[in-house]
Structure 1
Amino acid sequence: MKCISCQDLYDEDAAGTCKECYEEANETEEELKREIDELKAKVAFLKFWSPTPSARSHPASFSDVVLVASEDTSAGAPVAVPAHKAVLVSRSPVFRAMLENEMEESLSGTIKIGDVSYDALRTFVNYLYTAEVCLDEDMACDLLILAEKYQVQHLKDYCEKFLVSKLNWDNSVMNYTFAHQHNAKHIIDAALTLITDNMDKLTTREEYVELVEKDPRLVVEIYEAYLSKQVNTAAQKDSSRKT
């Protein structure tokens, strides 16, 4: 019998397609499901916040606002990044708390963002409007920090995926440390796997020496993960020999 996809002959007991085409179709289906899930998450992120009854009674509180980066000291006064309160409160529970209550930021119309450059802040605000960004590793780190600080989970997940895709042995210890500082679990897990796969080279790295001095707790975690992997590997080998 011929496969309806590739027209090659295949086992008549199969149903319509050969094994290769069937597996390829399954992979395509899984990829489409992932893309659909990502689009659904993006749509959900871009939906406007639904105002509460108390917010409806004070529509003037959602006028325009500006954000200012504290690190931007070039050419005198820092350049403000304009935004709309309605967008900010839709994307971030932290901004919502600032702007729905009579905090300084709500009253003044200016939100000062500490420890961030103008470029990173402008990119961050643009993402809140579009859910799109062009990343390099430095910008991904800056945005991940902002996303964690202001609880923009959609952006944090995006930055984590990007940084995981850029992981290699040379940057694994640095990223592992960074991820712990900012609760980036996907990066922690991926970096830890790389590190424990290369334990024989770990102690020669400058980043490792610095980590021992600055945060020995993380060094202990690395060795615990390595020992656990060794135990699991030994158990699997023992099980395979028995079978």
Structure 2
Amino acid sequence: MALMMSTDGGEEMMKCVSCKEEYEAEDAGTCRECYEEASETEEELKREIEELKSKINFLRFWTPHRSTTPCFTDVLLLPVDADSGKPLPNSVPVPANKAVLASRSPVFKAMLETEMEESLSGTIRLSDVSYDALRAFVNYLYTAEACLDDDMACNLLILADKYEVKHLKTYCEKFLISKLIWESSLISYSFAHQHNAHNLLDAALSLILDNMDKLSKREEYMELVEKDPRLLVEIYEAYLSKQTNTAAAATTTSGG
């Protein structure tokens, strides 16, 4: 309970139950600073709870219908060269369980429920993936955790997009957004566009639009001019839209 007191001027003061500082008796129990801090903490806890719920949801097994195969058997994931189809040097098959793969990825589920080569042979061959990234990918399917750096986050995001593992894709996007800087924003924008990473795309675009005066001076800009000019068109369209909205808002404010 807050302690109420009076000042010599007759104003009622209270002592905050949190910080023990005196404040005007407009709120009950805590001063405004402590109240706002508590609200921020509450919001942060809510976000953490939502993330944990999402993680628990992801880790739940998919339960097959009675009409389908009652239980999947083990399977091997093999990283192979995209051109030759041969196993990558210094790599070995990564063991996994079909039930886990099917419950985490709609792509694996479709692959394993039909009489495709992967289902019949017990080996799934994955191209364009390193052995380390594949191991990290399988580990995430079991634990919903991964040790990330920039390269691993990109590699796992590519796998997550290809095999529709949304939880992993969001996880990698959050990491890459936290590392996003102006110098890498064009590369990140192009990468996000290629792999349908919408959150990363928006974050990179926002950073680019804030630094449009420096855009054409970047080496990556010239590379996009040659390789993928449509992305630059999208950036300039977004910039024009932003300028138009800013001008309209300024006109409305001055008119009011």
| Shorter-chain TM-score tier | over 0.9
Q: Structure 1 residue 158 and structure 2 residue 171: aligned?
A: yes
Letter in 2 for 1:146: L
Letter in 1 for 2:89: S
**Consecutive unaligned residues in structure 1, runs of 5 or more:** none
Q: Structure 1 residue 168 and structure 2 residue 181: aligned?
A: yes
**Match in the other structure for 2:10:** none
Percentage of matched positions with identical amino acids:
68
Q: How does 1:28-177 map to 2 (within 5 A)?
A: 28-55=41-68, 58-59=69-70, 62-71=72-81, 73-75=88-90, 78-177=91-190
Q: Residue deviations 1:164-199, cap 9 Å, x none?
A: 111101100001000000000011101001111111
* CA–CA distance in structure 1, aligned partners of residues 23 and 245 of structure 2: 40
- TM-score, scaled relative to structure 1: 0.94
Larger mean Cα displacement after TM superposition, 63-72 or 94-103: 63-72
Q: Residue deviations 1:6-28, cap 9 Å, x none?
A: 11111212122111001000000
* CA–CA distance in structure 1, aligned partners of residues 36 and 252 of structure 2: 29
Q: Residue deviations 1:86-136, cap 9 Å, x none?
A: 111110011000111111101000000111010000100000000000100
TM-fit CA distance, 1:233: 2.4
**Match in the other structure for 2:254:** 241
* CA–CA distance in structure 2, aligned partners of residues 10 and 143 of structure 1: 52
* CA–CA distance in structure 2, aligned partners of residues 10 and 139 of structure 1: 51
TM-fit CA distance, 1:73: 2.4
> For 1:200, which of 213, 217, 232 is the aligned residue?
213
**Match in the other structure for 2:9:** none
Higher relative contact order (CA 8 A, sep 6+): 1
* CA–CA distance in structure 2, aligned partners of residues 70 and 127 of structure 1: 20
How many residues were matched structurally? Answer: 238
* CA–CA distance in structure 2, aligned partners of residues 7 and 240 of structure 1: 43
The structure whose residues are more often strand, as a share, is 2
Letter in 2 for 1:120: A
Letter in 2 for 1:89: A
The structure whose residues are more often helix, as a share, is 1
Cα RMSD, aligned residues only: 1.3
Name the larger-Rg structure.
Answer: 2
- TM-score, scaled relative to structure 2: 0.89
